[in-house]
Every structure is written in C-alpha cells, then in structure tokens.
Structure 1
Amino acid sequence: MNGALKQAQAAIESASTRDRGRLLGLLGRWRRAPTDAAARTAFETRLQASVRQRETRAAQLPRAEVDPALPIAGKAEAIIALIRAHQVVVVAGETGSGKTTQLPKLCLAAGRGAAGMIGCTQPRRIAARTVAKRVAEELQVPSGGLVGYQVRFNDNVSDATAIKFMTDGILLAEIASDRWLSAYDTIIIDEAHERSLNIDFLLGYLKKLLGRRPDLKLIVTSATIDTARFAEHFGGAPVVDVEGRGYPVEVRYRPLEGDGDDAGERSVLDGIVSVCDEIIQLRGTGDTLIFLPGEREIRDAHQALERRKYRHTEVLPLYARLSAKDQDRVFNPGPQRRIVLATNVAETSLTVPRIHYVVDPGLARVKRYSPRQKLDRLHIEPVSQASSDQRKGRCGRIAPGTCFRVFSEADFESRPAYTDPEIRRASLAGVILRMLSLGLGEIESFPFVEPPDPRAIADGWQQLAELGAVDAQRRLTATGRTMAKLPVDPKLARMLVAARDHGVLPEML
C-alpha cells in the first residue's frame, strides 16, 4: 500500500497546478485510511480528470515562433534551455530587445503553460492591455482566449487562457485568495528595475513561495541595470543579457537658461514648444515623443502645440486613464506626422511606433512620504540618468534618432545614476497592513531585495496603531482586517470604515 501511495504522490506532478492542493488533500485522506476504497477512488478519479484536462490544454497551445528580427531571437535557444534547467532566470534586456513580447512565447516553447497559466506582470495597466493584444496577434489567436489580460475593472481572461498579462497589483491581490498562486506554472515579473513597492513585495513573496512550489518557474526581466542584485536575491540565478535593437541616437541639449534677453525666464513648456519648432524646421520624417510628468502638463502642452498649427501634424496624448480607443490611436499611426505627449508610461514596456525624435524635459512625478506631515506627496522631480537613457532609447528603434534634452549636459551629469526604489521613499503602513492580512509575519524579517529603512518601518507601525488597525501586540484588529480588504491608502481606508460605521458612506464616496 505504501508503494501505491508513493506512486500517487509522484502522479500529482502530472496534474494541473490549480488541482494540486485538492489532490494533496484527497491523498492525505487516503493516507490516513489506507484501506478505505472510497478515499482511494476519490483521489484517482480527481487525478485522472486533472491529467486529462492538462493534456487537452497542452494540445491546444499554439506553436510559438520568435520574431527573427528581434535581438532576443539570437538567445532564444539559450533562454529555453535555462527555463527548463533552472527555477529562476533573470533576463537583462535593453530597450527594443523584444523581451516583453517574446518571453511568454519562449516559455511556451520550453513546455510551460500546460499545467497552469504563464502569468506576466506589467507595472502599468496600459502596458498589460497593449502587450497582450500584440502577443495575441503574433500567435494568431483572439485576445481573451489563449492570450488574455486583467487590470483593475477589466478582466479579459477565460478558462482557455494560457498567457495572462496583468498589473503587478492584480497578482498581489490574487495572493490573498490563493497563497500558492496555483493558477500559474510560470510567472514573469517584467520591468523589475522599476522597483515599485508592488514589485519588491512580489519578489520577496515569490522567494518564499519557490521553496514550497518546486514546479513553479520565475523569470525576472530588467533593463541592464542592477541585474546582479536580482540574481543574488534568488540564490545566484543565471542571467541572460540581450542587447537592444538600436540605431544611433544623437543627443542635443537645449537648456532652459538660453542666451540673450530671455535667459532664465523660459518655462519648461516654452522649452518644449521651442524644440518642437526646431524639429518641424528640420523637415525630417517620423514622429515625436514628448515625456511629461502628468495629465495636467500633457493638457497644457497639447493646447500650446495645437496653437502652433503645424501643417499635417496631429497632437496625441498618452496616459493611463485615457480611454482604450484614444490609447489605440497612438499605436495605429495614420498618414499625418504625430506629436505624442506621454507620461513615463512610454518609458519602458510600451513601444510607440514610428518615433524618430524624443523630447525629454527630464522630469517625472514621484511619490515621496513626508514623515513630518505623515503624508505621501507627489513631487515633480528630475529623473535619474538611467530613466533619461531609457527615454532616449525610444527613438532609436526603427532608424537613427535624435533626443532633445530640455536641460544642460552638466545637469544630466549631476543626476543620480538610478532611481531610488519606492520602498526607500514611500510610507510602509500599507505594506505592513497587507503582510499582516496575508499572515506573512513581520516586515523586519521579510526577504525584500533591499530591506527598508528601520525608521520608515517604525513610522508605518505607528501610523497603523494611530488608525486603530493594530493592537498593542501588533496584531490586526477587526478594523484593520476591513481596511486590508480595501485597495487604497490605509488612511483613506480608515476614513471609509468610519464613514460606513457612521452611516455616511455615500457622502464620503
């Protein structure tokens, strides 16, 4: 009987990932009563159904072919071999390497996607949606079928989905209902170099999960910065470097200080309009991509550039809250020359087609926590050299490009090399609350890629105590458990809980 139980344990590996928890439960019941024929039959029936389901799913998977024009095609066989041989692989890919669209297909080629889904996280909703659409087109399958996506308020996934694109926040939310992430046999964390709180939290959680789920594969992708840190975090995981497909990009500095009478008096918007005038006078072909900190700045620039009335030119905005129809206009260029006004959503995963010129004012809206005011504030700050170089790389994809930086070369040289991770500058109250609700222990012992500042941790605990989310023993209160279910800042969550208790929730909303 012991032999039959051992064989049964091994057979679970051939079942679908989402059924393994249930199968282990049925196996445990059979193990406790080895002579119980009903327990054995229940296990075997469920196992056979799950194996059949997996085989059916494997037969439906499309043949994955990598675009030979992309640089990642040259490393395709090596990446497939590493995915098969290692539990974690780090892929360092420059802008234009094709890693975002081709890696899920390489996972299919490595035999993944049959036992469970290949989940691919993106830092932004717009990227998750557009990349899913592109991969579906390349595999010649309908979006929402074998390739789907899920973002907040929009779920385009079916039972047949093998490749699922989603924001990192969606995958985090799934941990609350499924600690084992049993719907997936492979997870790709794309653009990990962005080091948002969500990404750092996922990397820490997955490090703990991989030891308990040897069948799960993880691929971490990053621009070619700091990949050694990710590899070290996962116990010396192999790193594959993929060069970007790039044409030479000329950098021209156009500082606002200027010369003559208007020295030092021009605004950033004046500088952008001046550079656009210069680009139009060059009479070159191709479109222009302008990076701006937020929607308000995009609206101001849109009005200013529309007033210039450039011939045969349309001005298009691109930001996360834009409707899907307006976003698609950016990715399906018409006959006119275009000026695309984008937030840093266009800095990484998204490739806006036909861009020959980039205008970079060198600014971004960054969230920073103020310990004195106990608030997260959105500041407009100079971007790092790495971000500036990412932006520059947007215009060397299809032909030689020109990047206009609306600041001086000395300013660029004085900037930090990399953007500091969000965990170093944001309030940790929300992270601590989420960890307590998931039962992951205390934040001090959690395996972050970089541990947060002890003062920020103490501040987070204090904030939760003041909000009544934790008690004197740092355990979640009933109020804290309700707050943890709300996907908003802890202070806002506490306001919503109080509004409900006082019967004024509609007014609060």
Structure 2
Amino acid sequence: MSENSQTTPQAPADFAALRRQLGDCMRRDYYRLSKRLHRLRKNPDARQLRKLQQAIEQSVAEKQTRLRNRPELDYPDSLPVSEKRAEIADAIRNHQVVLVCGETGSGKTTQLPKICLEAGRGVDGLIGHTQPRRIAARAVSARLAEELKTPLGELVGFQTRFHQQLGPANLIKIMTDGILLTEIQHDRWLNRYDTLIIDEAHERSLNIDFLLGYLRQLLSRRKDLKLIITSATIDAERIAGHFRNAPVIQVSGKTWPVEIRYQSAPDDEEPLSLYQRIDAAIDELQGEPRGDILVFLPGEREIHEAWRSLRHRREQMEILPLFSRLPAGEQQRIFRRGGRQRVILSTNVAETSLTIPGIRYVIDSGLARLSRYSWRTKIQRLATEPVSRASAQQRAGRCGREAPGICIRLYSEEDFEQRPEFTDPEILRTNLASVILQMASLKLADIERFPFIDAPDARLIRDGFRLLQELQAIDKRRNLTAIGRQLARLPIDPRFGRMLLAAAPLGALRETLAIVTALTVRDPRERPHDKQQAADEKHERFNDPRSDFLSLVNLWNYLEEQHEALSQSRLRRLCQKEFLSYRRWREWRDTHRQLLLAARDIGLKTGSASTPAKYDQLHQALLHGLLDHIAVKDEKHQYLGCRNRKMVIFPGSGLGSKTPQWLMAA
C-alpha cells in the first residue's frame, strides 16, 4: 500500500457508523469528537479516522463501565425522604427541573444523589451536587461514600477551594457552588455533568442566585441536563416559578415538639454580657434531660471568646467550635459523640447545611454576620445584625430531631416579632463588580436582563460598572478590556486582582500576593481579652512605622521562615506562644498558594525573594486597587476621603500615633 492511500476518502458508510457510535459516547466527549468527524468528512485522512474511531470506542467503553459500576442502593428507613424516593425518581425522569423541599434532617442532601442514580443518571456524565459551604461538602461526600460502601474518591468525589478527592470512576461529585462557577469559565455548557443538584437554594447567596440564573438559560440548550434544586420551605414556590413552575415535592421532617423560651433582662438589672447570658442559659438547661447543646453565635471572634469563657467553668462538658474555616479534622469532631455532654459553638453554618447528631437544645444569640454594601458610602462591610424570623425558626429546628427539644432565644418575643420575615438575598446587598466582570467574560446578557430571581438594585449595578471602569477592567462602552480579561481569571475580588496585575511589572508581586491574601482571610495575630498587652508586645516586632501593609509582609516572611526551620508541632507551639493562630496562618498560606498558581497561569512573574520590592513600587501597585480609598488631612487634622467620607486611623494601627498628610486604606 502506498503512502498516498492514507488520504483516500472513506466509504460514506464508515462515517455513518461513526456518527451512530457518537450517540453512545460520554457527554463531555460528544461535541469534541463530532467536530473531529465533521472535519474528516471534508478532508478525509485514514490515519486520523482510525484515531477518531479509537477515541470514540474509548468513550463508549467508559460509559459502559460507568453503567456496570452503579452501586446497589438502599435508603435509611429513618429518613423522611426515603418514603418519597419513587415519586422523586419519577419526577426526575419526566421533568427537566425538580424542586425538593424539606427541612434539614429530612435526608434530601445525602439521598438525592442516590435517587438520581436510581433514575438512570450519572452514566452520560457526572451527578454534580453543590453545597454552599466547604464544611458541608466534605461532610456530605464522606457520608455518601459510607452509605454507598465505597472509599471516598472512587464512586464519590469532592472538591472545595483548597482540597479535592476525585477519581476517573466518580459517578457523583460533591463541591462548593464556587467550584461549579469556576468550571463555567472553562466549560460553558457544563458538558461533564448529566445532572446537577443545587442544594440549600433558600440561602440565596450570590453564587446560588447566579447559578440559578445561568442554568435557566442553559437548560433550553441542553435538553439532556437535569436540574434538581433543594430548599427549605422558605420561598420554594418563588424558586419553582423561576423555572416555569417546575414540580415541587414536599418532604416532611420527622420532628419532636420544640419549646421556645425567650429571655430579656429586667429593666432594673445591669445588662449581662452575651457570654454571661449563654452561661446562664446552660445553667437553666441542666435541670432538663441530658442532651447536647448547640449555641448560635455571629462569628469566629464570638466563638473563641465564648470558648475561653466556658472551658474552665464547664470542665465536665466538651466545648467544641464550629465554623466554615475550621480544619477538616476539627470539623469531624462534631459528628463523634463521646461520654460527656457537648456544647457546640457555631456560626450559622449549622443553621441549614449540617445535621449534628445528639442536639437536644439550642441557645440562639439572634445574631449573624452579614456582608452589606452601601451605595451611599460605596463601602462593603461585614456587620453583626439580628437574624430574620425565618433564620430564627431554622435555628430552633436544629433540636427536636431525636427527642423533644428546647430553644432558648437570648432576646424577647417582642424583638422576634419585629424582625424581618426573611434575610435579604445577597444580590440585593453586595457590590456587583465581580458578578458583572464574570458575566462579561462569559459573554452573557447584560446584568439588567439576566434572569436573576430578584433583580439587583440599579444603583448597585451602576456602582459595579463604576468600579470596573476605575480598575480599567471595562471601557466607556462597558466592553471588557485586556486587563478585565486577566482579572476575570483571578479567583479574587477585582480590587485585589488589579493590585496583582499592577505589581508584576513593578517587581512587587511577591509582596503584593502576601498582602492581598492576608486581606482575604482573618488576621492570624490573636489578641485575647485577658492578655492584650502581652500579645501587643509579641506582635510589635512585625510593625513597620511607615505602613501596615509592610507589617503584613513582615509577618508573612517571619512565618515562612519558621515554617522552613521548624517541624509542624514546634511551629504550632511557637504560634501559641507568640499569640499567632496556626489555623489562620494555614488558611492564609493555602489562599496564597491558590492565587500564586492563578497568577502564574496568566503569565505573571513573582520575582526573587532576594530582591524585595521597594516601598514606592509596592504602594503604587496597591494604589491601583484603592484609588477611592485614599484620604487627605484637612485643616482640622481630620481625614477626608472620596465623597466627603470622614476617616480616622484605627487605634491598633502601626500608624495610630502618627498624622501623615495622606492615607491609603484597604
């Protein structure tokens, strides 16, 4: 056979057979292989055709293997969702979108992926299952793997921001909603999935609302994709209506009665601190049948203060913290019951995402930390606010799962009745620059026409565009610039991303990375209430009299040096001795590593540690993201910022005793 025969056109029947085989391929391969076949029809090449046939056969074989690997399924009789599995499976087969409603503890989170397998899903592609929090993604994947009797990472995998356990045989992938958003950047049609489960949709986070809008548009183009949305009963009909009246399946929870008790201090008494009221509520519960206590607090700081307050006075109890940033090993402790009564101090992560065994009592501070943007001051701030009535009811529902429960609310009934019914969706209270940037990079419709469940405020949209223009991410016609395209590929706030882009040509990327990532996590410097002076003395070594930003660089360099020199256990002891949080430093380091890789992916060079950036170079880079965060001292020695905002230097700042003419603040 001569070499020229390599390009002899194939018989039409060969192409027709390959076209038929394509229908049995994995979804993720179908379009890619279809394009190759189309090109070969125009320009036949026998060698390339054989390669294509091999690729098609491999994809078909993988699909057949997935079909054979589907595990045996059984459902715990104790979970209410098990009684509804046939109805849910039929709805999935007959509808493209299904909404499943039920309270936390009904079993919907762990059983829905199994019901999807029973309905024939997970063969053409993955069953993707999103969780709003990392801690929930880990817990759900571990539980699901256990129920399917498979090691985590085989049939069931998970992925969060910093960790993943995935494998080629995965049928189910549990992930945070942020991971799915990132995948859209590389796979707009989400071809790796044949089914998506969006869990806890009632939380109405920015990620969830964007995903629901995006998927509504995608479903008309991907008729094979199934979408299951889970929600508490809150707002369920509204979400269903957003998807053209998708069927709603209600799953009732098995609950015992929960007694609600309110607390309000008498007018003639000196008010007790939050931690004193928690202690008093624990005392009150000691007269009740034994059971674990779940305490809802607004944030990590309050959890640490409560832990310090309780651990010496309640030595007979096990005091456990719970929040999203907690390391995986410590998170798992809440699922292991020992001999002692437990008091679990939690943020609202335990409100809907997790079911903790053994909880019989809830103490509700009535507070939560909410991010809120002001279009007047143009500032996004994390404020402590009273929770809505719906959130308070969710918290009360955490007890009464295994026996009659009691919820003590550390506020009055009158206070409860005056609270708003629901928490505002995040899209109505946040700066929209990041959303607009991602939508522009994906070439989606204008944000004003995007199908959000709740349309964002026009003032917030204007402010988002204004900030992106200030950062040079869009032009006057609101088109994405080269800078904007790079910013969209960095998994960080556009302000911080702009600093990194400016830092690279100035030779200040290494220091700017340390600063930017420090600003996205909690400060590792701890200042216990009873040891403030000792902590300040230890931290003084990091202070730079010219700039708090340089103080962060000094802290980063010190911890990196100690990391290289010490074992993990010795570094932990050093951090404790010097009032530094080892856990927060690890999170800082993980965030730094992730962003460093992203920066390298878009071609940014970090430079050498042996040639540190000069003061001017570093602060010029930071200024690119903080143009509206500068202030000047007026004749009254007060600082005046953009839009006539008055500013003061924080007393804990290294510049607290100085009065420079100009300030720049993050």
With normalisation by structure 2, the TM-score equals 0.73
Describe the superposition over 1:298-353 as per-residue Cα deviations: whole angstroms up to 9, x where unpaired: 0111111123235x311010111111111111111111100000111111121111
Q: Please point out which of 273, 277, 281 is paired with 1:271.
A: 277
Q: Please point out which of 338, 343, 348 is paired with 1:344.
A: 348
Amino acid at match of 2:279: V
Residue of structure 1 in register with 2:423 after alignment: 419
Amino acid at match of 1:243: S
Q: Secondary structure at the match of 2:302?
A: helix
Residue of structure 2 in register with 1:172 after alignment: 181
CA RMSD of aligned residues (A): 1.9
Q: Secondary structure at the match of 2:269?
A: helix
Residues 63, 109 of structure 1: 8 Å contact kept: no
1:27 equivalent in alignment to 2:37: yes
Residue of structure 2 in register with 1:380 after alignment: 384
Flag the 1:326–1:505 CA change in 2: closer, same or farther, 3 A: same
Distance in 2 of aligned mates of 1:418 and 1:375: 23
Residues 29, 39 of structure 1: 8 Å contact kept: no
Q: Give unmatched runs, 5+ long, in structure 2.
A: 1-10, 515-666
Which of 146-155 and 267-276 deviates more?
Answer: 267-276
Q: Secondary structure at the match of 2:398?
A: helix
Flag the 1:503–1:37 CA change in 2: closer, same or farther, 3 A: closer
Q: Please point out which of 121, 128, 150 is paired with 2:159.
A: 150
Distance in 1 of aligned mates of 2:12 and 2:349: 56
Flag the 1:376–1:6 CA change in 2: closer, same or farther, 3 A: farther
Residue of structure 2 in register with 1:139 after alignment: 148
Deviation at 1:13, TM superposition (A): 3.7
Residue of structure 2 in register with 1:243 after alignment: 252
Amino acid at match of 1:202: L
Distance in 1 of aligned mates of 2:394 and 2:140: 18
Deviation at 1:26, TM superposition (A): 2.4
Q: Secondary structure at the match of 1:368?
A: strand
Residue of structure 2 in register with 1:76 after alignment: 85
Residue of structure 1 in register with 2:374 after alignment: 370
Which has the higher Rg, Structure 1 or Structure 2? Answer: 2
Residues 250, 403 of structure 1: 8 Å contact kept: yes
With normalisation by structure 1, the TM-score equals 0.95
Amino acid at match of 1:266: L
Q: Secondary structure at the match of 2:334?
A: helix
Residue of structure 1 in register with 2:323 after alignment: 319
Q: Secondary structure at the match of 2:135?
A: helix
Flag the 1:360–1:10 CA change in 2: closer, same or farther, 3 A: farther
Deviation at 1:42, TM superposition (A): 5.2
Distance in 2 of aligned mates of 1:28 and 1:196: 42
Amino acid at match of 2:447: I
Residues 26, 125 of structure 2: 8 Å contact kept: yes
1:102 equivalent in alignment to 2:108: no
Residues 26, 42 of structure 1: 8 Å contact kept: no
Flag the 1:302–1:110 CA change in 2: closer, same or farther, 3 A: same
1:401 equivalent in alignment to 2:410: no
1:258 equivalent in alignment to 2:239: no
Q: Secondary structure at the match of 2:372?
A: strand
Residue of structure 1 in register with 2:297 after alignment: 292
Amino acid at match of 1:150: Q
| Identical pairs, percent | 53
Describe the superposition over 1:159-208 as per-residue Cα deviations: whole angstroms up to 9, x where unpaired: 11111110000000011111111111110000001011100111111111
Residue of structure 2 in register with 1:479 after alignment: 483
Distance in 2 of aligned mates of 1:236 and 1:4: 45
Residues 66, 106 of structure 1: 8 Å contact kept: no
Q: Secondary structure at the match of 2:71?
A: coil
Which of 15-24 and 383-392 deviates more?
Answer: 15-24
Distance in 2 of aligned mates of 1:166 and 1:150: 5
Which of 229-238 and 3-12 deviates more?
Answer: 3-12
Deviation at 1:31, TM superposition (A): 5.0
Deviation at 1:4, TM superposition (A): 8.2
Deviation at 1:237, TM superposition (A): 1.1
Deviation at 1:11, TM superposition (A): 4.7
Distance in 1 of aligned mates of 2:12 and 2:230: 43
Distance in 2 of aligned mates of 1:322 and 1:487: 21
For these two proteins, the number of residue pairs brought into alignment is: 503
Distance in 2 of aligned mates of 1:501 and 1:407: 55
Q: Secondary structure at the match of 2:401?
A: coil
Deviation at 1:7, TM superposition (A): 7.3
Q: Please point out which of 308, 332, 339 is paired with 2:313.
A: 308
Distance in 1 of aligned mates of 2:21 and 2:203: 40
Q: Secondary structure at the match of 1:261?
A: coil
Flag the 1:444–1:5 CA change in 2: closer, same or farther, 3 A: farther
1:230 equivalent in alignment to 2:230: no
Residues 104, 354 of structure 2: 8 Å contact kept: no
Amino acid at match of 1:238: P
Which of 417-426 and 228-237 deviates more?
Answer: 228-237
Residue of structure 2 in register with 1:129 after alignment: 138
Q: Give unmatched runs, 5+ long, in structure 1.
A: none
Distance in 2 of aligned mates of 1:32 and 1:64: 47
Describe the superposition over 1:408-427 as per-residue Cα deviations: whole angstroms up to 9, x where unpaired: 11111111111110000000
Q: Secondary structure at the match of 1:297?
A: helix
Amino acid at match of 2:322: L
Q: Secondary structure at the match of 1:166?
A: strand
Flag the 1:206–1:3 CA change in 2: closer, same or farther, 3 A: farther
Distance in 2 of aligned mates of 1:9 and 1:238: 36
Residues 110, 143 of structure 2: 8 Å contact kept: yes
Distance in 2 of aligned mates of 1:95 and 1:141: 25
Residues 368, 376 of structure 1: 8 Å contact kept: yes
Amino acid at match of 1:278: E
Deviation at 1:258, TM superposition (A): 3.1
Residue of structure 1 in register with 2:664 after alignment: none
Residue of structure 1 in register with 2:69 after alignment: 60
Amino acid at match of 1:477: T
Residues 317, 343 of structure 2: 8 Å contact kept: yes
Flag the 1:233–1:131 CA change in 2: closer, same or farther, 3 A: same
Q: 1:488-507 maps to which residues of 2 (within 5 A)?
A: 488-507=492-511
Residues 27, 191 of structure 2: 8 Å contact kept: yes
Deviation at 1:38, TM superposition (A): 6.2
Deviation at 1:444, TM superposition (A): 1.6
Distance in 2 of aligned mates of 1:275 and 1:12: 65
Deviation at 1:260, TM superposition (A): 3.9
Deviation at 1:261, TM superposition (A): 2.6
Which of 492-501 and 49-58 deviates more?
Answer: 492-501
Flag the 1:236–1:44 CA change in 2: closer, same or farther, 3 A: farther
Describe the superposition over 1:219-265 as per-residue Cα deviations: whole angstroms up to 9, x where unpaired: 0000011111221211221111111121111111112x235433xx2
Which of 188-197 and 320-329 deviates more?
Answer: 320-329
Distance in 1 of aligned mates of 2:445 and 2:505: 29
Residue of structure 1 in register with 2:466 after alignment: 462
